[in-house]
């Protein structure tokens, strides 16, 4: 029987999510990859248990994570039953709906019909009464934002979610969604967005909007799908994500220019006593709007390495200038 490490809360930093009462671990574990039916269930269990032992209390899912869609939620539900059930009140579980989940006009995007049906399915797959955060996974250009927010309002006020969030909403969409939700008496606390040293679009206004509204940012793809690690410095490994799927990170993404940048970042990381991935995560966490950074893992050692970033979160002005120069 799994018994959590008694020192787990000494190993992690917890950050407030916007102006809400919710604190999130600086590092969260995401289930986007490596938690589907084709992956080893025992390996998943070991990753999740190690994460919790390191003080990682936030597990981020979505209805379509797999494969197949729903597979990651089902596997997490099994891990919860076998290992984490006694710790449910110490854990933040988030899920989302917004991408295609089933056929027909009610299995995609942002209608109330789809979002609430999907949430019910997610709860059933994970054998939960509620999730801690329920997200609209992406804005729907054809559904009125008021309807999407009404679905989030209903999810919270029915007790099926404690908090509501949005994901992949740009600055204007975020303002509109926040205003619509506020008029219903619902506070959006978080926007989950892609951000890394190699993907900095959200710096162009979104962070300012989140700070103005009192929302937190939860970051996904902080390591650019593994590019901001030492994994590709000497070629493309056969067991890499590129070789396995080539969907989210393609061979064409791994250019000599980017590899050269990663090598230079590695020199800074070495001076700081960090790995490249730890440097990349620490660099994101320096932003006061960021409440948590979601990392993926295919092995226990990766989650251990990523969590180690909290041991050095401070940057000198010189280091930040050097990093900006490399990333230009």
202, 215 Cβ separation under 8 angstroms: no
Per-residue pLDDT tens listing for the chain (328 residues): 999 999 999 989 999 999 999 999 999 999 999 999 999 999 999 999 999 999 999 999 999 999 999 999 999 999 999 999 999 999 999 999 999 999 999 999 999 999 999 999 999 999 999 999 999 999 999 999 999 999 999 999 999 999 999 999 999 999 999 999 999 999 999 999 999 999 999 999 999 999 999 999 999 999 999 999 998 776 555 555 554 555 566 777 788 899 999 999 999 999 999 999 999 999 999 999 999 999 999 999 999 999 999 999 999 999 999 999 999 9
Q: What is the pTM of this model?
A: 0.95
DSSP secondary-structure letter at 120? H
Beta strands in 131-204 (DSSP E): 131-136, 161-167, 188-194
Residue 9 makes CB contacts below 8 A (sequence gap 6+) with: 55
Cα dist. 84→47, 57, 95, 116, 183 in Å?
Answer: 12, 11, 17, 26, 37
Torsion angle of alpha carbons 308, 312, 315, 318, nearest 10°?
Answer: -90
**Phi/psi of residue 26, nearest 5 degrees:** -55, -35
pLDDT tens readout for residues 59-93: 999 999 999 999 999 999 999 999 999 999 999 99
290 contacts 280 by C-beta, under 8 angstroms: no
Task: Identify the bridge partners of residue 25 per DSSP, sorted by sequence position.
Answer: 14
Tell me the per-residue pLDDT of 182-217, one tens digit each, with 9 for 90 and over: 999 999 999 999 999 999 999 999 999 999 999 999
Largest interatomic CA distance in the chain: 54
d(CA 15, CA 312) in angstroms, rounded, equals 15
Buried b (16+ CB within 10 A) or exposed e, 218-234: bbbbbbbbbbbbebbee
* Beta carbons of 235 and 209 less than 8 angstroms apart: no
Sign of the C-alpha dihedral, residues 293, 145, 67, 88?
positive
DSSP H or E run through 292: strand 290-295
Domains defined for the chain, CATH in brackets:
13-327 (3.20.20.100)
Beta bridge partners of 14: 25
């Amino acid at each position: 029987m799994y018994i959590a490490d008694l020192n787990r809360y000494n190993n992690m930093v917890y950050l407030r999510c916007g102006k809400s009462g919710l604190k999130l671990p600086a590092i969260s574990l995401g289930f986007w990859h490596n938690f589907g039916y084709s992956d080893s269930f025992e390996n998943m269990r070991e990753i999740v248990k190690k994460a919790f032992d390191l003080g990682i209390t936030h597990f981020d899912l979505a209805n379509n994570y797999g494969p197949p869609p729903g597979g990651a939620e089902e596997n997490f539900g099994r891990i919860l039953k076998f290992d984490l059930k006694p710790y449910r009140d110490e854990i933040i579980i988030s899920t989302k709906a917004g991408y295609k989940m089933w056929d027909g006009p009610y299995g995609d995007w942002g209608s109330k019909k789809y979002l609430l049906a999907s949430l019910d399915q997610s709860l059933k797959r994970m054998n939960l009464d509620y999730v801690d955060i329920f997200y609209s996974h992406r804005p729907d250009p054809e559904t009125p934002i008021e309807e999407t927010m009404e679905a989030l309002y209903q999810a919270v006020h029915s007790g099926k979610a404690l908090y509501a969030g949005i994901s992949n909403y740009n600055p204007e969409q975020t303002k509109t969604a926040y205003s619509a939700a506020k008029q219903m008496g619902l506070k959006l606390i978080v926007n989950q967005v892609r951000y890394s040293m190699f993907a900095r679009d959200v710096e162009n206004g979104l962070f300012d909007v989140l700070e103005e509204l009192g929302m937190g940012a939860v970051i996904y793809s902080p390591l650019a799908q593994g590019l901001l690690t030492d994994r590709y410095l000497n070629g493309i490994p056969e067991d890499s994500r590129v070789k396995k799927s080539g969907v989210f990170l393609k061979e064409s993404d791994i250019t000599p220019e980017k590899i050269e940048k990663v090598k230079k970042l590695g020199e800074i990381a070495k001076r700081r006593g960090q790995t490249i991935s730890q440097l990349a995560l620490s660099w994101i966490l320096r932003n006061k709007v960021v409440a948590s950074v979601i990392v993926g893992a295919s092995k226990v050692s990766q989650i251990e390495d990523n969590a180690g970033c909290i041991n050095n979160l401070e940057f000198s002005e010189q280091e930040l200038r050097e990093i900006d120069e490399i990333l230009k």
